[in-house]
Each structure stands twice: as structure tokens, then as C-alpha cells.
């Protein structure tokens, strides 16, 4: 068998500036044919070679399902993805879900789509893009999350921006409600 050619992209999540202090990940695209010939062990070796906290293997080949929903709107396009750290496959992680969603809205989902579904080992994740702000929203599957203890679990916009000034890059945090609960959607990742 000939060597596999696997196109990939390096994404930098949670920033609007190239080569900045965002959170990088590698996204490897798998066609129907390449997915048949790559093993989980090979995916693990590729993730280790990239040496990022996580690597996504996006299955680019799932068919578009345009049959109408009950309300007459088109169904959201689904794409499956596998997530690997440098040492193990994991069912879910947050920053790469957002990065993968942004990639899909720009390169995979139909032009103008505002909704899609990413299929992870933790379950289906509905993702949406706000056309005005270009921000991505993800409906995270309920599992293994925690409420942060600082501020009694609730913080003000100013407190959050003090702890995470990089959020100022995405609209200065005006979109944040006051006194909201802060959760981590995956323990340790």
C-alpha cells in the first residue's frame, strides 16, 4: 500500500491575532478512503509528533443530510471527529471543539450555515456561529464538568477579564452577562 497523505491545519484558538498566545491544536482531515487505512495507533503517533495538547482527526466525508427537520428547516450537517492527546485518545475537550467548529464553518459546512453537529465520543455537539460577532457557541454534552470555586462560582465581567485578559480580543467581554457561573467543561483539559 502507498503511504497515506493526510492534509492538516494548525489552528490557534481563543485569539484573533496570528502567532499569538492562543491555544494551538492540529486538525488532520480524513477522507472516507484514508479513514479506512489509518489505525488508532497511527493516530496516536501522529498526535505525539505534532506535540500539541490535542490533535483532532476530522472525518470530512460524512454525507450532507438535507432532509427537513420537523419545522421544515434543513438538518444540520454532521462531522465526526476523534481527539488525541500526546498519550491517549479522549472523548471530549473544549478548545478543540471550538477550533474544529470554526474550521467546519469556514471549510466544510455549506456556505451560510449557522448550525452544525460535531460527533465526538462523548456525544453529539451542536455548534452555532453568530454571523454578526463570528463567535462560536457549542452545546456541550453533559459529563464530568465542574463549577469553579473562585468567586463562589460566580464572577463579574471585570473579574473574568482580569483573570483572562485575552477575552478582551473578542469584543471586550460585552457579550458576557454580569454575575455568571464559571464552569470547566472537562476536568484537566
DSSP symbols for 134-182: --EEEE--SSS-EE--GGGGEE-HHHHHHH-GGGGGGTTTTTSPTTEE-
Give the count of domains, the chain. 2
Tell me if 129 sits within 8 A of 147, measured CB to CB: no
pTM beyond cutoff 0.75: no
**3-state secondary structure at position 102:** helix
Q: Are residues 65 and 155 in the same domain?
A: no
Yes or no: say if 59 and 34 are a contact pair by the CB < 8 Å rule: no
pLDDT tens series, the chain, 189 aa:
578 889 999 998 887 777 777 888 999 999 988 998 999 999 999 999 999 999 999 998 665 444 455 444 556 788 999 999 999 999 888 888 999 999 999 999 988 888 999 999 888 899 999 888 878 888 876 655 556 555 555 667 777 777 767 666 655 556 566 666 666 655 544
| Shared domain check, 70 and 108 | yes
Range of the domain at 156: 144-189
Catalytic positions = 54
Grid cell at residue 6: 493526510
Amino acid at each position: 500500500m502507498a503511504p497515506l497523505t493526510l492534509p492538516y491545519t494548525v489552528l490557534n484558538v481563543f485569539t484573533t491575532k496570528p502567532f499569538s498566545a492562543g491555544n494551538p491544536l492540529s486538525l488532520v482531515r480524513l477522507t472516507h478512503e484514508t479513514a479506512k487505512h489509518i489505525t488508532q495507533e497511527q493516530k496516536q503517533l501522529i498526535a505525539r509528533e505534532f506535540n500539541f495538547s490535542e490533535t483532532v482527526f476530522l472525518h470530512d466525508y460524512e454525507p450532507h443530510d438535507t432532509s427537513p427537520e420537523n419545522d421544515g428547516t434543513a438538518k444540520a450537517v454532521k462531522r465526526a471527529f476523534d481527539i488525541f492527546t500526546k498519550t491517549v485518545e479522549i472523548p471530549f475537550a473544549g478548545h478543540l471543539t471550538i477550533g474544529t467548529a470554526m474550521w467546519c464553518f469556514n471549510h466544510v459546512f455549506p456556505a451560510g450555515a449557522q448550525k452544525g453537529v460535531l460527533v465526538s465520543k462523548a456525544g453529539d455537539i451542536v455548534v452555532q456561529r453568530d454571523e454578526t460577532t463570528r463567535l462560536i457557541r457549542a452545546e456541550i454534552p453533559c459529563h464530568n464538568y465542574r463549577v469553579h470555586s473562585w468567586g463562589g462560582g460566580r464572577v463579574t465581567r471585570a473579574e473574568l477579564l482580569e483573570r483572562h485578559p485575552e477575552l478582551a480580543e473578542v469584543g471586550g467581554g460585552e457579550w458576557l452577562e454580569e454575575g455568571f457561573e464559571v464552569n470547566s467543561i472537562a476536568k484537566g483539559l
